[in-house]
């Protein structure tokens, strides 16, 4: 399954960090790209540095106009899954979404325009209480991929974590054996 993420909007001041977290979660949880508007362009360098150390080819694309991008992704065969508190419970529709070949997960930073709800194939509720779009994205990506994204690994990683019940084990990277 090919998964991309479209993040719409950014609240001033607090959202530089939240935007970075949304990109990191999208990357770590198996998406191939995040498309964002209204963001600082240096997020590309941040994610590129993470890819360089931890592997993978996750992309950050800065866009102008989410409507145009959403329409293009639909033409490209993506099913649009809008993550919202007001949708159908993720546990009830995750199987249908998981059967899609291409999924565009849409998360908003603030109030999401009505057009997103109307154009989505799925309006997906990850819980019915206010919470972070980053949390919703992580749960959604895990549910639709069934954990497979964690077993795949990241090509080209210079550093990787060795699972351990106690302590931290990291191999590779500067000053570390591979």
In a domain, 114, yes or no: yes
Q: Is residue 78 part of a domain?
A: yes
Write down the mean pLDDT value for the chain: 89
Do the Cβ atoms of 132 and 107 come closer than 8 Å?
no
Q: Does residue 177 fall inside a structural domain? A: no
Give, as one character, the DSSP assignment of residue 85. E
pLDDT of 108 above 90: no
> What tokens were used for 149?
């994204």
Token code pair at residue 125: 């509720």
Read off the tokens for 146. 């069934």
Residue 178 lies in a domain: no
Q: What confidence tens digit (pLDDT) does each residue in 38-74 have?
A: 777 888 999 999 999 999 999 999 998 899 999 999 9
Tokens of 126: 């990850």
Cα torsion for 99, 142, 75, 69, to the nearest 10°? 170
Residue 92 has pLDDT above 60, yes or no: yes
Domain encompassing residue 96: 2-172
Angle of helix 133-145 versus helix 90-98 axis, rounded to 10: 50
pTM of this prediction? Answer: 0.88
> How many domains does the structure of the chain reveal?
1
Length of the chain: 178
Whether 125 is in a domain gets the answer: yes
- Tell me, yes or no, whether 147 lies in a domain: yes
Which CATH number covers residue 64? 3.40.1280.10
What does the pLDDT read at residue 51?
Answer: 94
175 vs 76, higher pLDDT:
76
Dihedral sign for Cα 140, 146, 151, 154, please.
negative
């Amino acid at each position: 399954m090919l998964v991309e993420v479209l993040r719409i909007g950014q609240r001033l001041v607090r959202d530089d960090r939240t935007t970075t977290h949304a990109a990191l979660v999208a990357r770590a949880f198996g998406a191939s790209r995040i498309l964002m508007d209204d963001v600082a362009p240096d997020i590309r360098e941040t994610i590129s540095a993470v890819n360089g150390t931890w592997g993978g080819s996750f992309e950050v694309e800065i866009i102008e106009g989410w409507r145009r991008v959403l329409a293009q992704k639909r033409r490209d065969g993506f099913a649009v899954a809008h993550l919202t508190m007001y949708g159908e419970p993720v546990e009830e529709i995750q199987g249908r979404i998981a059967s899609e070949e291409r999924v565009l997960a849409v998360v908003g930073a603030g109030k999401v325009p009505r057009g997103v709800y109307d154009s989505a194939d799925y309006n997906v509720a990850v819980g019915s209480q206010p919470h972070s779009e980053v949390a919703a994205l992580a749960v959604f990506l895990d549910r639709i991929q069934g954990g497979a994204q964690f077993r795949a690994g990241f090509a080209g990683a210079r550093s990787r974590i060795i699972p351990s019940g106690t302590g931290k084990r990291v191999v590779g990277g500067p000053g570390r054996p591979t």
